[in-house]
Amino acid sequence: MRYLILSDLHANLPALDAVLADATGVGYDAVIVLGDLVGYGAQPAAVMERTFALNPVAMVRGNHDKVCAGIEPATTFNDVARASAEWTAARLSPGELRALGELPIGPRLVTDDLEICHGAPFDEDHYVFDLRDAGLAIEAMSGRICLFGHTHLPALYTTVDDPVESSGGDDDTLRLPTGGPSLINVGSVGQPRDGDPRAAYGVFDVDQGTMRLRRVAYDVAAAQAAILEAGLPPWLALRLAQGR
């Protein structure tokens, strides 16, 4: 079984389309989505439609999904994120907003070994940025492998006594520990923040015990033009080209 892992799509349709085209060539059997379908980008409805059409076997909601759906206020958002959330909520239909609001709360077990969340297993909105946070997340995991998003940064945390093996390069295949825990972030489809503007995603091969991390170039200019045409904050367009 090979799972296509998508996280933090953020209403970026050109990025999502490029990822899906690339993933078709790589090959996968089922789709898992780690939240934040909307927010920041200018094509939330189209990204939602494209994502739901994939019939994901498991999904969790993200913080932008919650705020845009009206489940939570945007009190923790900065001004740019708040403006984007308000714009998104005003443009989605009642049915689309209801679909966002009905996305499952994380964490969720996909299998006995595989858990997914948006932020962390102990708090769906917590950012895992460092070893301390990763340690707390690993302690809270219900599965041996946990996939998370939220930070928009590819990352892998394991234990010292059971490390991961990496092939390196742009098409990095990680051989996961066979016994110890793995906490993995495949990066963001719609808004990478690691200095690389290319869209990021992963393919988890259960039988081989590997996670393949992929980066895909997409039409950044088209995504930027859509943001500017929509009247969203220009910084949201600028950051796409910078990968930040």
For position 177, what pLDDT does the model report?
Answer: 85
Containing domain of residue 41, as a range?
Answer: 2-242
Provide the 3-class DSSP secondary structure of residue 195: coil
For position 104, what pLDDT does the model report?
Answer: 97
Closest CA to 158 of 138, 173, 128, 130: 138
Q: Which neighbouring-strand residues pair with 215? A: 200
| CA distance linking residue 230 with residue 112, whole number of Å | 43
For position 172, what pLDDT does the model report?
Answer: 80
What averages of pLDDT result for each successive group of 10 residues across the chain (244 residues)? 98 98 97 98 98 98 97 92 96 97 96 96 95 93 96 89 60 83 96 96 95 96 97 96 92
| CA distance linking residue 160 with residue 52, whole number of Å | 38
| CA distance linking residue 216 with residue 160, whole number of Å | 31
| CA distance linking residue 183 with residue 72, whole number of Å | 27
Look up residue 105 and give its DSSP letter: P
Q: Which neighbouring-strand residues pair with 165? A: 175
CATH of the domain at 63: 3.60.21.10
For position 169, what pLDDT does the model report?
Answer: 60
CA distances from 133 to 120, 121, 129, 146, 161 (A): 9, 11, 7, 14, 19
| CA distance linking residue 179 with residue 43, whole number of Å | 41
For position 162, what pLDDT does the model report?
Answer: 59
Return the amino acid letter for 201.
Answer: Y
The count of structural domains within the chain is 1
Look up the pTM and report it: 0.94
Closest CA to 80 of 243, 225, 244, 233: 233
